[in-house]
Amino acid sequence: MADDSTVRQRKPAPAEEPEDLQEETPVQKPKKRRANIDDDDLDVYTPWVDILRVLTFLLMASCGLSYVISGGESWFWGMKHKPNYMTADYWKDIIKGPDPPIYLTLDELAGYDGTDPEKPVYMSINGTIFDVSNGRHIYGPGGSYHAFAGCDAARGFVTGCFVDDRNADLRGTELMFMPLDDPETDAHWTEKELEAKRAQELEAAKQRVHGALLHWVKFYSNSKKYKKIGYVVREEGWLDKEPLKELCAAAQKGRKKRVVPEV
C-alpha cells in the first residue's frame, strides 16, 4: 500500500523518473508546456544548451581518459558491448545508409568460415547471411559453433546435429517431432483412427520445425552483436536436386512411442 502511494505521488514529475518509468508516461508534459509559450518566453534563459554542453564534455572527457589510461586501446573503458550509438556501424548506417546486401553462392560462403583470420566470419540460416565476426571465438576454428560458419546449416539448427547437418534441407526433419510407430501401442486405435492421428501429428510436427527454425532466425536477426548482410544465391529448384537425407541419429533417438490415453 505504502509503495503504491509513493509511486502515484511521483507520477506528476516525470522529468525525475528513471528512464523505464518515463517511457510509461510518454511526453505529454512537454507538449502541454509548449502550448503556453508565447514570444516573450523564447527570450527566457533555458539551461538545456548548457546541460548538453556539460554532458558532451563529460562524454568526451570519459573517452579521452579511457584512451589515455588504456594506453590507446579503448575509448570506452574496454566495454565489450558498447551502446549502439557508440559503434561505428550505427553512425555509418545513419549517415550513408545501410550497405547493400551481398549475394554469395554456398561455395563463396564457405570461404568465410573463420579459418582465414584476415576475412570476416559469415554464417547463413535459411538463406540469410549474417556477419558473425564479433563472435569469432565461437564461430571460428575450435569454437563450439564453428560448424555453422561458412554454410547454411538451417537443418542443423533444427535437429541439433551441428556436424551432420550442415545444410539447409529441412525435408524430413518433421520426423523428429513425430511419434514412433509401435504395433503393440498402436493396436489401441483402428487403422482409420491411426491414419487421422498421423495426419494431425504431421501437421503439428511441421509447425514445430517452423517454430524451431524461426526461433534461430529471430535470434540472429535481432542480435546486436551480429549483422544481417545478405543472402545465399541458389539455383532455382536446388532442393529438388538434393537427395533426401536421413534424420540424424541424435534426433531420431529423441522420438518416443505414442501414448495411449488413460481412460
Ligand X SMILES: *[C@@H]1O[C@H](CO)[C@@H](O)[C@H](O)[C@H]1NC(C)=O
Report in angstroms how near the CB of residue 128 gets to ligand X at its nearest: 8
Instruction: Considering only CA atoms, give the Rg of the chain.
Output: 28
What does each C-alpha distance from 94 to 88, 91, 133, 158, 159 come to in angstroms? 10, 5, 21, 35, 38
- Exposure string over 101-133, b if 16+ CB within 10 A, otherwise e: eeebebeebeebbbeeeeeebbbbbbebbbbbb
Report in angstroms how near the CB of residue 218 gets to ligand X at its nearest: 8
**Based on CB atoms, which residue is closest to ligand X, 62 or 207?**
207
Kindly determine how many residues on this chain lie close enough to bind ligand X according to the rule CB under 6 A: 6
Site for ligand X in 173-212 (CB under 6 A): 210
Site for ligand X in 217-236 (CB under 6 A): 217
What does each C-alpha distance from 36 to 33, 74, 165 come to in angstroms? 5, 47, 66
**Based on CB atoms, which residue is closest to ligand X, 152 or 186?**
152
CB of 157 closer than 8 Å to CB of 145 = no
Report in angstroms how near the CB of residue 215 gets to ligand X at its nearest: 8
**Based on CB atoms, which residue is closest to ligand X, 29 or 218?**
218
**Based on CB atoms, which residue is closest to ligand X, 52 or 214?**
214
**Based on CB atoms, which residue is closest to ligand X, 65 or 214?**
214
- At 47, the amino acid letter reads P
CB of 67 closer than 8 Å to CB of 59 = no
List the grid coordinates of 66: 579511457
Report in angstroms how near the CB of residue 3 gets to ligand X at its nearest: 43
Site for ligand X in 118-137 (CB under 6 A): 126-127
Q: Which residues bind ligand X (CB under 6 A)?
A: 126-127, 210, 213-214, 217
